[in-house]
C-alpha cells in the first residue's frame, strides 16, 4: 500500500519531544535528520541555543548524527559545521543515495538508524522506502519556501486521504 510509505512510525511536535531512551531500546544508534523546518526554521541563519543543547545531548548519549538536506551547501554548512555535525547537502530526497551515504558515514545499518523530518514526501517517503524507522515532526515554522509549499499541499491531500481511512494514529492539528 502506498500510504504505508507515507505513514511515519512516530509523529511528535518537535525533535525535543523524541524519547531518546526509547530510540536506544529500539536499537537505534544513529540519526539522519532534515534541517529546514525540522531542526530550525527554513529562514533562520544559525542554530538556536535549544538545538545546540539537543545536539550535545545526542552526542553524550552516544548517537551518531548526520544532517541530510535538499538545500545548498552554504545553507546547510552554516548550521551543521558550528554544531560539529556532518552533513549531506543537495540530497535529492526522497531518493536513496543520500540516506545510504549517511548510514555509511555513521557505519550503521538501516535498522540502527532513524530518519527525522518534517515532510512526508521527502523525509518519510525516502526513509520508509529503505526500511528506516521514521519520525515526522511538526514544522517549526508556519512558512515555507516555494517548492516546500507545493509539497505541503500534496501532503495535505495524502493526510486527508489517510485520515478518512483511519490510518493516522495521532491528533492532527493541521488537517
Tens-place pLDDT, residues 37-92 = 999 988 888 999 999 999 999 999 999 999 999 999 999 999 999 999 999 999 99
pLDDT value for 146: 58
Question: Per-residue confidence at 149, pLDDT binned at 50, 70, 90?
Answer: low
- For residue 67, what are the CA distances in angstroms to 22, 89, 145, 168, 173? 21, 8, 19, 27, 27
Please state the pTM of the whole predicted model: 0.85
CATH architecture of 2-164: 3-Layer(aba) Sandwich (3.40)
Residue 172, pLDDT > 90, answer no
Domain ranges of the chain: 2-164
Tens of pLDDT, residue by residue over 94-127, are: 999 999 999 999 999 999 999 999 988 899 999 9
pLDDT at 125: 93
Amino acid at each position: 500500500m502506498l500510504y504505508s510509505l507515507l505513514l511515519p512510525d512516530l509523529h511528535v511536535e518537535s525533535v525535543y519531544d523524541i524519547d531518546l531512551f526509547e530510540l536506544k531500546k529500539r536499537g537505534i544508534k544513529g540519526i539522519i535528520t532534515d534541517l529546514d523546518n525540522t531542526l530550525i526554521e527554513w529562514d533562520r541563519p544559525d542554530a538556536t541555543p535549544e538545538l545546540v543543547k539537543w545536539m550535545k545531548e545526542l552526542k553524550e548519549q552516544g548517537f551518531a548524527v548526520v544532517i541530510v538536506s535538499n538545500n545548498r551547501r552554504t545553507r546547510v554548512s552554516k548550521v551543521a559545521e558550528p554544531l560539529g555535525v556532518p552533513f549531506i547537502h543537495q540530497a535529492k530526497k526522497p531518493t536513496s543515495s543520500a540516506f545510504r551515504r549517511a548510514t555509511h558515514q555513521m557505519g550503521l545499518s538501516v535498522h540502527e538508524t532513524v530518519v527525522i523530518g518534517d515532510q512526508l514526501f521527502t523525509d518519510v517517503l525516502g526513509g520508509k522506502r529503505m526500511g528506516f524507522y521514521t519520525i515526522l515532526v511538526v514544522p517549526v515554522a508556519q512558512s515555507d519556501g516555494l517548492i516546500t509549499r507545493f509539497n505541503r499541499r500534496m501532503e495535505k491531500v495524502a493526510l486527508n486521504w489517510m485520515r478518512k481511512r483511519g490510518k493516522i494514529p495521532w491528533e492532527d492539528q493541521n488537517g
